[in-house]
Structure 1
Amino acid sequence: MGNFEITDNFYLDGKPFQIISGAIHYFRIVPEYWQDRLEKLKAMGCNTVETYIPWNMHEPKKGEFHFEGMLDIERFVKTAQELGLYVILRPSPYICAEWEFGGLPAWLLAEDGMKLRVSYPPFLKHVQDYYDVLLKKIVPYQINYGGPVILMQVENEYGYYANDREYLLAMRDKMQKGGVVVPLVTSDGPFEENLNGGHLEGALPTGNFGSKTEERFEVLKKYTDGGPLMCTEFWVGWFDHWGNGGHMTGNLEESVKDLDKMLELGHVNIYMFEGGTNFGFMNGSNYYDELTPDVTSYDYDALLTEAGQITEKYRRYRDVIAKYREIPEVTFTTEIKRKAYGTLPVKEKVSLFSVLDDLSAPVESSFPQSMEKLGQNYGYILYHSTLDTEEKLEKLRLWEANDRANIFVDQKPVTTLYDLELLKEKELDVTFERGADFDILMENMGRVNFGPRMEHQRKGIGQCVQVNGHMHNHWKQYTLPLDNIEKVDFSKEYKEGLPGFYRFTVDIDETADTFLDFEGWGKGCVFVNGFNIGRFWEIGPQKRLYIPAPLLKKGENEIIVFETEGKTRDTIVLKDEPDIG
């Protein structure tokens, strides 16, 4: 059994301990690669690994918990311990992390009036129910009981969000009553107002920043009561959003200097050591003047690439760390290969409209309802009606609609409305026969993960569809989370220019990492042997999707592309190099 405490410094079993940590999000990396990433972390000189814990993944439906496969937090912690690494856990219900809804489960939004991250009893009750399960999983791995966990975090960057002291105290108390005995920290922006709102008694305040180390630590000193100075998120790069013009990178020379100063003055957690991938529909979004959904790659210009390759930044950081501790010899035990499997021709294709009833049982309603009200969290939703009283389609507005709408009349594309375009009436000139099909395919592009807009993240259509000035009623609502892709029947009708599914196969005799090039394709998502590897969009900057080798198998592999714009090719290409812009 061990002991970790905070006084004027961090002390491990009574001896001063300098935390040199790197962030690895287990839920962004296939578990077969955890060992490799942790070995590379140790080989750079880090003695600790840090990770968030995403509530939305562990409790995707109220009362339904998952801790298997990529969500096996216990296996991740044990793997770190076997390598001699200590662990920092951040089990806050909110994680930010450029992750869908900041890690909060979307089903919270099904409740009218839900208030997030404040002293609102229904929210606190849901957190308690989650902690009743989660904490039992992680408490035994604290250093006091022979585990590697030395710190846990209360909430996350709370001073950026609010200043509800009672809420912060409640979150601290829930953790401690649930069995957390290791020291607690908070992490906030390195400014007085953030720290005023985000720190609390019984937890060491730490800072999140990417530059100006001395200046930031001087501010932090005012709050630590003589305790150690730590940057809990040393931002070494940044994230990309669709359409941002190119992959974001940091200033390596300045970053190296900041790391050196950080280790001279205190402690660090490098964010990110490896960013990984926003598999599935798990990318987050920001919203300032407009919606900016993050791309599938969470490369972050980190020390390892999205696919785990060592970078020049890794080597430069290792040189700095070597000034402060001895770099251990580490043998990398996971063989990772890359392969270009070449050009694959499409084998089968089918239109979405042909397989709607295979994928979803429609819910009929006089008025449209949001995804959350229909028990759906992610993906797409299609609203179907018929134009029985309208003479023409001249004006259209969707009320309380998010995030992107493809509109069809008579199963022909009419217009696409995205983000700000959904806030105003669209003028059209569409003629049709009375009784024509009227379909609206809505996509959840990833819920906002930062700021007060988080409470307004219902997806789909929440109020009404206004046609030519009046509300249009009577809808069949097809929820399309696409978690049942095996039900797509490719024997049914295909029509050009409409949303559709495209099936490819590749026979391989050796599994290796590969990268799917989607040049010539419009917008959608991709499934590899049933696993959703994420979204693509021709606007970039990301141009290829990462397929880790463990998702493949010897023999025949199936790749299904879902495309929504009717912009496709007859082929896809699997290459041996990434292209994230």
Structure 2
Amino acid sequence: MASKFEIKEQFYLNDKPFKIISGAIHYFRVVPQYWRDRLEKLKLMGCNTVETYVPWNMHEPQEGSYAFEDGLNLREFIATAQEVGLFVILRPAPYICAEWEFGGLPYWLLKDPMMKLRFSYPPYMEKVSRYFEHLLPQVLDMQITHGGPIILMQVENEYGGYANDKTYMKQLADLMIEKGVNVPLVTSDGPWHDMLENGSIPDQALPTINCGSKIKEHFKRLREFHGTEKPLMVMEFWIGWFDAWGDEKHHTTDGDSAAQELADILEEGSVNIYMFHGGTNFGFTSGANYYEKLAPDVTSYDYDALLTEWGDITPKYELFKKVISQHAEIPDFPLSTVIKKAAYGELKVTNRVSLFATLDTLSAGVHSAYPLTMEELNQSTGYIYYRSNIGPARRIEDYRLITCMDRAHTFINNELKLTQYDHEIGVKQELELTAPSNELGILVENMGRVNYSVKMNHQHKGIKDGVIVNGAFHSEWDMFSLPMDNLDQVDFSKGYSEGQPSFSRFEFDVEEAGDTFVDVTGWGKGFVVVNGFNIGRFWEIGPQARLYVPAPILRVGKNEIIVFESDGKVADSIILTDEPKLSL
């Protein structure tokens, strides 16, 4: 039955005042078999709404090719939320930030050399419009006006921290309305500097704020910005934080302080708790920040949220539940999903092969006079390998990679000579060539495109400008795209040489599937694939020490794990334990 949700001096649901008490769950960071469990736990805390972003780069991974099935079945997630008794706030992009690869923007936008992301640049807007033509029909009939649970949709995201192109924001709002969105629109921005002024379009969307503390002060700022009486809402109440590779430890926040801030919010307005449940950056989906240096995010998006990455209730959850109970009735019902943890013990490696030995089974290779980027090769994430003959024995006094991101291994005749990362890339190096003929190989890893701020237009991965050999650009390259989504093509019958990037294979039997955690102590850097599902990156520098494997990825009977390691540092075993570990 159709209902209505309105924004007046406060929120109204069917003409009655309504306080939004929401929590964020990103469906794309949780296996779909666990969606109901996480949503039920949100409802059991007293929340009446769930909020989720929508990642454009997952739903249109290649231009003109769309995906809305399995773990990307947005309709099913929204329908499940409604079955659990929750309303939905939908934040449908085009940009989401979210510590997600490229902030949710698809890599292929960068194939336009003139691209201006998140501006009223006509070719960009044309691509957004075409995407909305495919995305919005998935959800239009799930708006509250059609009997569905969606009560609000957001226009863009934190735009005031990026630019102030009001034409762009109005074009987006008009586009959503034109294509059938008829629930109220909102924007969300930080309450600092000019962010509210830059990112808001008050005549079309209700401004809300994102922050984690000093709520009373920020609500005062929002009230003054509104000018007239409007609902006060924190669209992202940050109750934790994310981790980057190289951080000293997993970030945590004080539960009592966060609960007091929540009480302050609910005293005056509405809230969306970010994150209620963070989940996991499976595969190569984690983004990065870049200020003074590159800070790529770890695989876990635990966020010190109210549910852990693997879905356990935390003490902070109980504190928030107590606060919410002052404003809403707390329901009581049994959870419908049985979730167990399992320790499958130590697994010994059964096969191992060098990347170079099986390179031709994974990638066809492309030849060019000059290096091509991932984007030019229609590749989104993963690795790319550049190979070229650089001639006879001699001393290379000036070896440099020019405009290369993010991490590069240089090999001479398949022997590792140096590894460069971030600021180290582009620094002049010397190489001694001793063989009569020498092959240069460069393995470049995309560590995650920057998801926030001013570097977003410059996220071409791989080698963009070229390779300097003794003062001049070197030409004639064979390039091998390695998105690593076809590891069934790895030929383990081929050879392995110590110190080279490699694939290691493990097998184990499962009688009963349970959530488990992969411990790769003794390994360098790489990623882990379980039964064909990439569960994410590991790196010995931490802070994350173990990778989460949800039980639905496992199967009763024989299971396979493949570990790719890029730095030549491998062990002969891994451990599957029932104990998580978010810091070394």
Q: TM-score, normalised by structure 2?
A: 0.99
Q: Distance in 2 between matches of 1:34 and 1:242?
A: 28
Higher mean displacement: 145-154 or 465-474: 465-474
Match for residue 89 of structure 2? Answer: 88
Question: Given the alignment, which residue of 412, 419, 423 partners 2:422?
Answer: 419
Q: What is the one-letter code of the residue matched to 2:97?
A: C
2:539 corresponds in structure 1 to 537
Q: Retained in 1: the 8 A contact 2:393–2:438?
A: no
1:260 Cα deviation after fit: 0.3
What is the aligned partner in structure 1 of residue 302 from structure 2? 299
Does 2:382 align with 1:385? no
Instruction: Give how far 1:109 is off.
Output: 0.8
Q: What's 2:78 paired with?
A: 77
CA distance in 2, matches of 1:489, 1:423: 34
Alignment of 1:103-502 (within 5 A): 103-191=104-192, 193-200=194-201, 201-224=203-226, 225-388=228-391, 391-426=394-429, 428-502=430-504
Take 2:519 and 2:193, find their aligned partners in 1: how far apart are those partners? 46
The alpha carbon displacement at 1:389 in A equals 5.7
Q: Per-residue CA shift, 1:254-284, capped at 9, x if unaligned?
A: 1111000100010000000000000010000
Deviation, 1:192, is 5.1
Percent identity (aligned): 56
1:191 and 1:219 in contact (8 A); partners too: no
Note the alpha carbon deviations across 1:268-310, whole angstroms, 9 max, x for none. 0000000000001000000000000000000000000000000
8 Å Cα contact 2:393/2:433 also seen in 1: no
Distance (Å, rounded) in 2 between the aligned partners of 1:83 and 1:554:
29
Distance (Å, rounded) in 2 between the aligned partners of 1:130 and 1:338: 39
| 2:11 aligned residue | 10
Write the distance in 1 (CA, Å) between the matches of 2:5 and 2:399: 61
TM-score by length of structure 1 reads 0.99
Tell me the alpha carbon deviations over residues 402-435 of structure 1, each in whole angstroms, 9 at most, x when there is no partner. Answer: 0000000011010001001113222x24222232
1:120-141 C-alpha deviation (Å, 9 max, x unpaired): 0111011001000000111110
State whether residues 410 and 432 of structure 1, in contact with CA within 8 Å, keep that contact through their aligned partners in structure 2.
no
**1:189 is matched by which residue type in structure 2?**
G
Contact 1:192 1:219 survives alignment (8 Å) = no
* 5+ residue gaps, structure 1: none
1:35 maps onto 2:36 in alignment: yes
* Equivalences, count: 580
Indicate conservation of the 8 Å contact 1:387/1:434, yes or no.
Answer: no
Instruction: State the 1:391 CA deviation.
Output: 2.1
* SS of the residue 2:139 aligns to: helix
Match of 2:558, SS?
Answer: strand
CA deviation vs aligned residue, 1:52-84 (integer Å, no higher than 9, x gap): 000000000001000011100000000000111
Hey, what's the Cα distance between the residues in 1 that align with 2:463 and 2:135? Answer: 33
1 CA distance for matches of 2:96 and 2:38? 21
Aligned letter for 1:520?
G
Q: CA RMSD in A?
A: 0.8
CA displacement 1:359-400 (0-9 Å, x = unmatched): 001100010011001110100000001112672233211111
Q: Is the 8 A contact 2:101 2:449 kept in 1?
A: yes
How far apart are 1:330 and its partner, in Å? 2.2
Over residues 138-171 of structure 1, what are the superposed CA-to-partner deviations in whole Å (9 max), with x where a residue is unaligned? 1110000000000000010000000001000000
Contact 1:391 1:434 in 2 (8 A): no
The superposition leaves residues 305-343 of structure 1 with CA deviations (integer Å, 9 ceiling, x where unpaired) of: 000000000000000000111101121010000011000
Question: 1 CA distance for matches of 2:152 and 2:318?
Answer: 27
C-alpha distance in 2 between matches for 1:151 and 1:23: 14
CA distance in 2, matches of 1:13, 1:488: 58
Amino acid at match of 1:562: F
Partner of 1:301: helix, strand, or coil? coil
Q: Is the 8 A contact 2:277 2:309 kept in 1?
A: yes
- Asked if 1 retains the 8 angstrom alpha-carbon contact of 2:508 and 2:558, the reply is yes
In 1, the alpha carbon distance for the partners of 2:393 and 2:374 equals 27
Task: Name the counterpart of 2:561.
Answer: 559
